[in-house]
Every structure is written in C-alpha cells, then in structure tokens.
Amino acid sequence: MDVFSDPTNFDVYVTGFLWILKLTAAGTVGALILGVLLAAMRVSPVPVLRGFGTTWVNTFRNTPLTLIIFFCYFGLFSTLGVKLSDDIDRNNYWLGVIGLSVYTAAFVCEAIRSGINTVPPGQAEAARAIGMSFFQTLTIIVLPQAARAVIAPLGSIFIALAKNSTIVGTIGLAESSNAMKELINANGDQVIAIFLVFAGTFAAVLIPTGYAFGWLANRMAVKR
Amino acid sequence: MSTDAVLYDHPGPRAKIRNGILTVVFGIALLALLYWVYLKFDEKGQWAAALWEPFTESSTWTDYLLPGLWKTVSAAAVAMVLSLIFGLVFSVGRLSDHRWLSVPSGMVVEFFRAVPLLLLMFFIFYGVPFITESPMPPFWAVVAGLTLYNGSVLAEAFRAGIKSVPRGQSEAGYAIGLRKSQVMQEILMPQAARAMLPVIVSQLVVLVKDTALGYIIGYAELLQSVNNLAANFGNIVAAAIVAAIIYIAVNASLTAFAGWLERRTRRKGKAPKSADPVPVGAVEPIGD
C-alpha cells in the first residue's frame, strides 16, 4: 500500500476515478434519453422511424465499443471537425461520452422494448378505446408500467457503462485504467496492491449497486 | 405485449397524412445529416479513390484483414471454451451445500463481474510479468481476461438456468436414489444448458466484441491490423468503416444463430418450463 501514501500517486488514482464517475454520469443521462427515444421510434407507426431505430440498434450493438470510441476520435473529431472543448482532456471526455451514449443507447432501447412487451395488451387497447393517441398511450399508459419491469436490466446496463468508461482511455483520457497502467509501470514491485486497490474500488461500488438494483426491481415489480 | 399495431389504430386519413409528414420531415433531416457528413468527408478528401482502392486488392485482405480476423476469432474461440469450463465449475461451486466451496466461488464470480475487463487485461499484461519475471504474450492476456470476465457472467447464467429447472425434476432424481452430484450431472445441467443456449451464444457476441480490447494491449487482432493498414495507406476512416462492417457481419450472424436456436428449442417444447422464471437482469448478456 506504500504506493498510495505518495500524494502524487494518490492523485493519479483519484483523478482516474473522477473521470470514470463523470463519464458514467454523463453517459447514463445521454444513453437514457437516446435509448427511450429509440425505443419510442421502434414501436411507432412511422416506418422510417422504425427502420432508423432498428438500424441504430443493429449497428451499435454489434460494433465493439473500442471501435466506436476510435470513430469518435478519428471520424467525429479529426475528420468532421466536431470540437467540443479547447482543453484536450475535456474534448476527449465529451467524445467518450458521445461514444458511450450511442453504444449504450442501443442496449437501453432493447431493454425498454422488452419491458413494453411485459405490459398486457389490454392496457394499450383500453387506452386506444378511450381515444388516446399513440403518443399518449405510450407516455401515460405503457412506458410507466414498462419502466418498473426494466429496472433490473437497466441496472446491469448502467453497471456495464461504468466499467466500459475505462475504454475511453484508448483516446488518451487519464481515466482509471490508464492511471493503473501508469502506476504499475512506475512501481513494478507492488503490482498486486495496485491492482487490488483499483479493481477493489470498482467492486466496492458496483457490487452493492447491482444488489440495490435487484432489490429495487423486486420491490417495484408489478405482480401480475 | 406484442408491439406491432397494439399501441396505435389502423391509420385513418388524418393519421396517414400525419405519418406522411413525419416520414418526410425525419427523412429530410436524416438525409441532411448524411449529406453534411458526406461533404465534410469530401472536404477532407476521405472519398479519394486511393483511400478505398486497397480494399479491392487481395493483398490487403491476405496481409491485414484476414490475419486480423483470424486472430480475433482464435482468441474468441479459446476464450469461449475456457470460459464455458470456468462458468460450469463456478456455477456448480456456488450452488454447493458446502459453505467453504460456495462462499469463495460466489466471491470470485462477483469480483470478476464487477471489475472492468480492460483493468483486468492491463493487470495481466503489464502487472503479471513483474511477478513472474517473464513477458506475457498478448494473446494469453486477452484470453485470460476474457475467460475470467465471461466465465463469471456464464456462471451466473448457468446458476439461473439450474435454478429455473422445476424442483420436481431433482426431487424425482433423489427419489430414485441418485446422489447430489448425479442429480446435478444427469438432470439439472443438461436442462440448464439447453435453457441457457441462447444466452451462451449471445455471450459469444460480447466476447467477439471484447477481443477488440486486445488492440489496446497490442494484440494483433482485427482492429490492430486495421490500424497497421491505415498507417500504410493513410486511410484510417475508410479502414475503420470496413472493420466495423466486418464486426457487424460476424456478430449479426451470431445473433441470428442465437435467435434460431431459441426458436428451435422452443418449438420442440422441451425447454424446461420454469417454475421460477429466470431473472432477466441476472443473465442479460451485455457490456464488455
């Protein structure tokens, strides 16, 4: 544990996890908004919207996140000239958030769609019978019920997102995997301690989060 | 609920017009976006024939893409076999009646599921050589990382599968005098394996995608060879697009295979009817 008693090393550790935290937070918000929109598109009456949603899901779910982040850097930033900040770390951070969001949104969309499938058809039929439009049926009747069914899968998706944040290190952000690599290279005699601290931090945060989502899902489940 | 046409009525004249307008507006917005991308790419000369020509030559494929794909597939295949074994051992371990076996198994599975795969690979690739004092081949770093992570996910999938087998099945086994290990081997595992077949194949998609992490530690898989290719021809965007298409083709066919397997097992009506449905979250094959 001597490694971390050195303030510079401790700083590296803290900064790494702060980036992970920020990536996870922004990525979660982005993925949730995009994912709900995509799910709504995929069940909508307009064929073009449905096609767009399907294409999105099939494309991003089957492409490695490493490659997507790669694209964000070389495609969005280098070629399309999308510059999100003057600070290089900030810029990479936002590129990473975009990559994580578009990738995770595909999974969120599928989870919500399967959640919609757990709502009995009679609910939507009743809504239609009293004259609700598609938009009303979806937002007032179906999605609120679906939301309770998708807590568990969404939980695992966001836990995966937190872990996937480490991949943004590919484009040079000093997040925790890069921080760990740096510390290991500098302190070869204490690799096990370094790994246990970094991996332990993830485990200490994510395992209880997983159980919390499981508990919440059970509590909120609609008994049918 | 089947989402087709339950959420909305057959369109009447007004709805038809509204849908038509939405189609046109969204279509135009999408085309405008694509055109902007096209223009920007054009500005940077990304459509120059020289950048795309390499993909029509067989040497590009035999020198870069196919060897990369082969490395990806071989790492994924070895990791899949190993993680199946890992998953089997730890799922049975976790269900054991002996606390000295079930508690550590549970801890191992929970730990490796919670640690990011990249962190694991970095530790194995950069850290372990300090301990063993011999370099770690990137192939084994990738395979070991994938095995520990996917093995843990599969262990949870198997456990959910075993628990979804109706209790009467094992009771019947005990009634005719089988021991616990026999009940597990002859009755529970075969049924669980069948019920979990689609999940296992979907996990293979995750595994194939995750081999791309090998690029970060310098394993010469598809993404790495695309990078080398781009270094030679200066066509990073074109090369990455081709790589994405290859990944999507491989994974989409695996997903289709999983869907086919699921339909097939369901059609025969032999998949165990779960008294206690498999918790969705526990076996969701997601992430890296």
**Per-residue confidence band for B58, with pLDDT thresholds at 50, 70 and 90:** confident
Contacts with B248 (C-beta within 8 Å, 6 or more apart), sequence order: A58, A59, A62, A63
pLDDT digits (tens, 9 = 90+) for B178-218: 999 899 989 998 888 888 888 888 888 889 999 999 998 98
Q: Which of A28, A67, A161, A219 to mutate to test the interface with B (most CBs of B within 10 A)?
A: A67
- B247 interfaces chain A, CB cutoff of 8 Å: yes
Average pLDDT over chain A reads 91
- B248 interfaces chain A, CB cutoff of 8 Å: yes
Structural domain boundaries, residue B64 = 48-266
User: Residue B275: its pLDDT value, please?
Assistant: 46
Nearest to A203 among B15, B111, B123 (CB): B111
Measured between beta carbons, the chain B residues lying within 8 angstroms of A70 are 223, 240
Q: What is the mean pLDDT of residues A58-64?
A: 92
Q: What is the mean pLDDT of residues A30-52?
A: 93
Cβ contact A124–B7 (<8 Å): yes
| pLDDT value at A199 more than 70 | yes
- B42 interfaces chain A, CB cutoff of 8 Å: no
Cβ contact B116–A48 (<8 Å): no
Are the C-beta atoms of B158 and B91 separated by less than 8 Å?
yes
| pLDDT value at B23 more than 50 | yes
Nearest to B1 among A46, A78, A120 (CB): A120
Domain assignment present for residue B183? The answer is yes
User: Residue B239: its pLDDT value, please?
Assistant: 86
Domain assignment present for residue B284? The answer is no
| pLDDT value at A223 more than 60 | yes
Nearest CA in chain B to A217: B281
Measured between alpha carbons, how far apart are the two ends of chain B, in Å? Answer: 30
pLDDT digits (tens, 9 = 90+) for A101-154: 999 999 999 999 999 988 999 999 999 899 898 889 999 999 999 998 899 999
| pLDDT value at B272 more than 60 | no
CA B145 to chain centre: 14
CA–CA distances in Å: residue A123 to residues A128, A143, A148, A151: 9, 11, 15, 20
Contacts with B61 (C-beta within 8 Å, 6 or more apart), sequence order: B55
Average pLDDT over chain B reads 85
Nearest CA in chain A to B111: A203
Please, how many CA atoms are within 13 Å of residue A65, restricted to the half-sphere of its CB?
A: 33
Q: What is the mean pLDDT of residues B48-74?
A: 84
| pLDDT value at B285 more than 80 | no
Q: What CATH number does residue B100 fall under?
A: 1.10.3720.10
| pLDDT value at B87 more than 90 | yes
Domain assignment present for residue B153? The answer is yes
Q: What is the mean pLDDT of residues A61-76?
A: 91
Cβ contact A191–B236 (<8 Å): no
Q: What is the mean pLDDT of residues B262-279?
A: 57
| pLDDT value at B85 more than 50 | yes
Nearest CA in chain A to B5: A45
pLDDT digits (tens, 9 = 90+) for B30-55: 999 999 988 888 888 778 777 787 88
**Per-residue confidence band for B5, with pLDDT thresholds at 50, 70 and 90:** low
Are the C-beta atoms of A187 and A110 separated by less than 8 Å?
no
Please give the Cα distance from B54 to B52 (Å, whole number): 6
Please give the Cα distance from A102 to A94 (Å, whole number): 12
Q: What is the 3-state secondary structure (H, E, C) of B20-77?
A: HHHHHHHHHHHHHHHHHHHHHHHHCCCCCHHHHHHHHCHHHHHHHHHHHHHHHHHHHH
Q: What is the per-residue burial (b if ≥16 Cβ within 10 Å, else e) of B44-55?
A: eebeeeebbebb
User: Residue B268: its pLDDT value, please?
Assistant: 56
What token pair was written down for B80? 């899949």
Interface contacts A/B by beta carbons within 8 Å: 207
Domain assignment present for residue B52? The answer is yes
Specify the range with the lowest mean pLDDT, choosing from A52-56, A115-119, B14-18, B258-262. Answer: B258-262
Q: What is the per-residue burial (b if ≥16 Cβ within 10 Å, else e) of B108-124?
A: bbbbbbbbbbbbbbbbb
Q: At residue A149, what is the residue type?
A: A
Cβ contact B44–A79 (<8 Å): yes
- Nearest CA to B200 out of B243, B249, B257 is that of B257
Nearest to A170 among B22, B111, B216 (CB): B216
Domain assignment present for residue B12? The answer is no
What token pair was written down for B200? 């296992």
**Per-residue confidence band for A1, with pLDDT thresholds at 50, 70 and 90:** low
Instruction: Pick B166 or B63 by higher pLDDT.
Output: B166
Please give the Cα distance from A31 to A45 (Å, whole number): 23
CA dihedral (A113, A119, A123, A127) in degrees, to 10, reads -20
Tell whether domain A2-220 is in CATH 3.40.50.11810.
no
Measured between alpha carbons, how far apart are the two ends of chain A, in Å? Answer: 52
What token pair was written down for B81? 């076999």
Number of structural domains, chain B?
1
